[in-house]
Each structure stands twice: as structure tokens, then as C-alpha cells.
Structure 1
Amino acid sequence: MEKIQHSNIRVNGINMHVAQISNSGPPILFLHGFPELWYTWRHQMLHLSAAGYRTIAPDLRGYGGTDAPTSAAEYTVFHIVGDLVCLLDALGLDQVFLVAHDWGASIAWNFCLLRPDRIKALVNMSVVFSPRNPVRKPIESMRKMFGNDYYICRFQPPGEAEEEFARVDTTLVIKKFLTSRNPGLLCVPKEVGFGGNPNAKITLPSWLSEEDIDYFANTFKRTGFTGGLNYYRAMDLNWELTAAWTGEQIKVPVKFMVGDLDLTYNTPGVKDYIHKGGFKKHVPFLQELVIMEGVAHFINQEKPQEVSEHIHDFIKKF
């Protein structure tokens, strides 16, 4: 870990914390999800830098050492992709390989829609590309399909989820998220709350250490969760702002990876979309599809060696 260098770079009107291992080789930009940080990519950064690549992992807007505007209106895909384009400019990079997971994956799809000229190839994990529904906003669709207790619907009211998280220790919140292996719909009734039982005892899997948990937990204790939750709260606004891209395809080479126990893979309709031609229709340059057996949502941490090798096997073709 001592190989990883940290800096703060001014991008798009905010200060961004960036972790890097600076080699002269081809650059890879890693985008994390919720509730994560640059740290989620620690294994891949070390593996791929040893293979001769320059590895770059920022804390995205709202996370960790990067500035966190308070308004959800400042977390649109235009803001986030804008941050990343400015980061590439600041680093003097014309193109990068893009590797992303969870919310980072959603941002990566939009990055490829908005600025495909900056992406050499994409390795995306967990979250498939969802074409824009021209007639209904995403939160309305989720309420209709999954109910008001669906976690993304529950994340919408400002401050509500934060209050529930605050009822238990942040360390426990992080453990619950990272160790969850329930592939079913994540629905959280208000009477249960996102914190759940404050006295719960969670045994860490072999791929997560107490040191890892402490890094995430100590950071979120300092920053809170609002920055990350604002990505969910900007979903309907994104829908309005991206109307001009309705029907657009992803036009960069893509490898997609997901665990068969991932709640995203088991969301109703997603398996059929992936395996019956819908995904390929919207992502025509999808070259490789990997379904990892017995693996849950946090795939890049649960299977670090395998994921690193999958990334390398794909990007070394270009």
C-alpha cells in the first residue's frame, strides 16, 4: 500500500482526492460505488501497476477526501462525468481504460455515452447499462415495480436514511453492506430501518480485514453518507437532463462482470436482459460477459485476484 501516492487535484470547481500508482504505462481509471472509496480498488491497483499500467482511483464527488456539495442537484451525471474529464485533463491523459463497479458502473456507462472519445475500453461490474425509459422517471418505475420500501426509493427523502444509519455505529453499517450476500430485492421497511439491530455481531469473510473495515468506517464517520446518497437522489434529475441521449448505444469495447449472488443480477428482469439479447443490443461492442459463481455484490474485493486477471486479460488486447 505504500506504493500508492495520494494527491488533491482541483477539478470542475471541487477538490478531488486521487490515489495513484504512477507508472509510464497505459492509464486505468477506477470508479468506486456506494458505500465505498478509492480503497475498494487497492488490490487491482497493485496488481495492474505491477503489470505495467498507471492506476488512478479517485474518491468520487461526495466521498472521502473529495469535496461534497450538499445539494443533490450537484450530483448529476454531467457533474460527475465532468469531474472525471477534468481529472484526465489535469493529469494530461487523452484516453484511459475505464474500470468501474456499482454506482461507478452507472457513471462509467454515462461517461461512455457522453465522451466515448476519452475511453479506450471499459470493464464494468455489477450494474448493467439501462437504456432511458422515454415515458417514465426511474424512481416512479421502481416504486411501481418494487414498492416504497425498495432501498433506492427509501433513499430519496433528504436526511431520512442518514438518520437511520446514525442510530448504529458506522462500523456496523459498513460491515452490513460489505458482507451482505442476500441476492433478493433490498427492501427496508421504516420500522426496521437501515441501521437494523445495533447489537448485531457480524463475522468478516476471509477477504475483508478489520483494517479494511476501519478504513471505510473511519472515513464515513468523518464525512457521513449524504454525498453518496445524493447520487440516488439525482436519478430523476438525470433522467430529465439526458433526454437527448434516449436510444443511444454504448460505442466502446466492453467486458461486463457480475457475481451470480449479486442483488443487481437477481433484480427481476436483469438476467433475461443480459442473456436474451437486450444488453447486447444496447451495448453492441460487448465482447466478454463473465458471471462469477458464488460471488456477491462487492466482486472486486471478494475475488481480487480473479477480477484483476480478468481486467488485464481484456485491456491488454488494446
Structure 2
Amino acid sequence: MPSTRTISANGIELFLLEQGQGPLVVLCHGWPELSYSWRHQIAAIADAGFHVVAPDMRGFGRTSAPDDVGAYSIFDTVGDMVALVTALGETEAVIVGHDWGAPVAWHAALFRPDMFTRVAGLSVPPPFRGRARPLDSLRAGGVTNFYWQYFQTPDVAEAEFERDVATTMRKILGRGVSDPAAMFVTEDKGFLGNIPPVLTLPDWLSEADIATFAEAYRHSGFRGGLNWYRNLDRNWDLTAPWQGAQIHQPSLFIAGSRDSVITGLIGAKRVTELDRVLTNLRQKLIIEGAGHWVQQERPDEVNAALIAFLRG
């Protein structure tokens, strides 16, 4: 069983799940998730001979959630992981990220190749910094109802998601981003309005899992995680020096074939062009039939790929 502790790093308190001894592996979760999202990976990777830490990321769960929206940029979130490695007394680590954790992992590898010697991203391809800010690009393309846009105005999505937290978690995890209908928000329906009720949970998600997520979000609220989306354009501005940069460390990409993040027009193109950014891509694993929550849905296949990659 993983142990828990809280570590001071980069000016915040990071809550961790931790297990094992050996080379350090950092697992970065996404939205709306927790370190608990890695429950099937932590012991398996620890048993393979590694020291595994899975933090609640900045703004999530039992980790600090700064009030300032500007405190959730990619520099802050990568800075947390750099400071965490240092606080653990290490100089090197392998970093693995899923969903929003994947951009953290990819950028950690870009910003600090001396520290992050291998990198794996799940569900979200590596950064292709486009020619314009993401939200500007959506508007220019005539898109006004993408969920990124709905998340921009403080208090709107928070109020919707916090009205009934258990239902929110059932809908987002039980169907969620694997359902393309969830990506676009119908006026007056909110984010959840296009997602049908989830009467029966998928076999990989239990009522106890939902209760764990719901309890955490009733306590923390949703603002911290939503603030990551409120830095999308700012992150584009901040990463200008890395325009066209490549990641040369050994890398791994894993996604589910039914994940709308990689089946949409932009995502599908990025997945076919991974080697433009990842010059040392060891494996591209698309798990047939899996959706967006790939490490929870298909833990055996994800664990096997991660451990093989870590042993490299």
C-alpha cells in the first residue's frame, strides 16, 4: 500500500502517494482527477524496483490551491515537479503524465532535460506550439462553445460542478472526455448537459472510486483545476522560446483508441506526427477500445508498457 505525506515545494504544500525504493518515477494526474487516479500503477511500478510518487497536483485534492489564477501557468506546474524531485533528495527522475499531467511531463522534459531523463505522456500528445494562442485560434475558427471556452469565466463551471459533486464525477469519469458530445457546451445546458445520466458505471470504475473522488472535490472545490484552463493562452505566450523545440530523451506515448482527445482533427494529426517533437520515441501504444481514462480503464496494458519503458 502506498504511504501518504505532504512536502513543501515551490512555495506550496504537495500531498503525495508514495511507494517503493529505487530510481524516482513521478506520476502527474489530470483533470478532474487526483493522485488516486494512479492507484493501479503505484504498487506495480514500485514492485518493479522504483520509488514512485504521485502528487495531488497544484490546485487539486489535498495540495495547496493558490487564489491567484496566474499561479497555475505551465511554469508553476512544472516548477512544482522540479521542486518535488529536489525535495526528495534526487537530481533525476522519470516523469509520467496523463491528461493535463501530460503537458506538465512534456514541458518538464523540454525545460529540464538534465533532471527528467525519460518522459511518458498518456492521452495528450506533446506540445506543438501553434501559430496563435489556443483560445484565439478557436474564435478565429468560428468555435464559441468548446469546453475550454466555457471554463474561462470564474465561478460558472465551478457552480455547475459543485451543485452535485457525485453526479459530476459519475458523468465526467463514467462517460466524460471519451464522449465527443462532452467537448462542446450547449447554451443553458452547461458542460454536463450533453452527457446522459450514467446509470451503470463502466467495469473499471466502482462506486467506491466515485465516492473517493467526490469526497475530495466536495472539500477542495473545482476552482484550482479549472484555473489550469484559464492559463491556456498565457502558457502559449510563456513558451515562445520553445517554439519548434524537440524532446530528445527516451519517450513513450499511450492513449485509448476511443479517446476524443486523439480522435479529433487536431489530436489525430498530432498523434501521427509525434516524431516531429519526440526524436527518441520508444513506443506509441494505442490501446484498442480504451477511452480517455486509459490508466484506470486498462491498467495491465498501461503498467506493462510503463515498466518496460522504465527498464529501457
TM-score using structure 1 length: 0.93
1:164 matched to 2:173: no
Contact persistence 2:171–2:198 (CA under 8 A): no
Write out aligned runs for 1:185-196 (5 A). 186-196=183-193
When the two chains are superposed, the root-mean-square deviation of aligned CA atoms in Å is 1.7
Aligned to 1:289: 284
List per-residue Cα deviations over 1:65-118 (Å, max 9, x = no partner): 100012220001111111111111110111111111000001111111111111
Question: Which residue in 1 is equivalent to 2:240?
Answer: 243
Question: Aligned letter for 1:265?
Answer: I
Structure 1 residues 314 and 184, CA gap change in structure 2 (3 angstroms): farther
Please tell me whether the aligned partners of residues 18 and 54 of structure 2 are also in contact (alpha carbons under 8 angstroms): yes
Corresponding position: 1:302 with 2:302? no
Instruction: Name the residue aligned to 1:8.
Output: 6
- Distance change (3 Å), C-alpha of 1:77 and 1:287: same
Identity of aligned residues (%): 38
| 2:122 corresponds to | 125
> Of the candidates 250, 265, 289, which is equivalent to residue 268 of structure 1?
265
Q: Provide the rounded CA distance (Å) in 2 between the counterparts of 1:109 and 1:281.
A: 13
Task: Give the 3 Å change call, closer, same or farther, for CA 144–179 of structure 1 in structure 2.
Answer: farther
Whether the 8 Å CA contact 1:184–1:263 is kept in 2: the answer is no
Aligned with 1:32 (options 23, 29, 52):
29
Contact 1:264 1:270 in 2 (8 A): yes
**Aligned match for 1:104, one of 101, 105, 129:** 101
Q: What secondary structure sits across from 1:133 in the alignment?
A: coil
**Alpha-carbon separation, structure 1, partners of 2:47 and 2:56:** 22
Question: Displacement, 1:173?
Answer: 0.4
Match for residue 141 of structure 1? 137
Distance across 1 between alignment mates of 2:223 and 2:116: 29
Query: Unpaired segments of 5 or more residues in structure 1?
Result: none
Question: Quick check: 1:27–1:53 contact (8 Å CA) kept in 2?
Answer: yes
CA contact (8 A) 2:27 2:53 kept: yes
Q: How much does 1:142 deviate? A: 2.4
* Secondary structure in 2 matching 1:16: strand
- Paired with 1:166 and 1:88, the residues of 2 have a C-alpha distance of 33
CA contact (8 A) 1:185 1:263 kept: no
**Kept in 2: contact 1:26–1:54 (CA 8 A):** yes
CA distance in structure 2 between the aligned counterparts of 1:207 and 1:143, rounded to whole angstroms: 37
The whole-number CA distance in structure 1 between the counterparts of 2:198 and 2:282 is 42
Q: Counterparts of 1:165 and 1:250 in 2: how far apart (Å)?
A: 36
Please give the alpha-carbon distance, in whole angstroms, between the structure 1 residues aligned to 2:9 and 2:261. Answer: 31
SS of the residue aligned with 1:287?
Answer: strand
Equivalent AA in structure 2 for residue 157 of structure 1: T
Q: 2:208 pairs with 205, 211, 224, which one? A: 211
Contact 1:184 1:267 in 2 (8 A): no
Instruction: State how many pairs are aligned.
Output: 310
Contact in 2 for aligned 1:166/1:195 (Cα 8 Å): no
Distance 1:268 1:92, change over 3 A: same
Q: Which among 50, 61, 65 is matched to residue 64 of structure 1?
A: 61
Contact 2:171 2:197 in 1 (8 A): no
Q: Which amino acid in the other structure matches residue 33 of structure 1?
A: G
Contact 2:125 2:270 in 1 (8 A): no
Q: Distance in 2 between matches of 1:190 and 1:107?
A: 31
Once residues 266 and 223 of structure 2 are traced to their aligned partners in structure 1, the CA distance between those partners, rounded to angstroms, is: 29
**1:82-101 mapped onto 2 (5 Å cutoff):** 82-101=79-98
- Matched AA of 1:138: P
SS of the residue corresponding to residue 257 of structure 1 reads: strand
Preserved CA contact (<8 Å) 2:105 2:120: no
Q: Which of the two has greater helix per residue?
A: 2
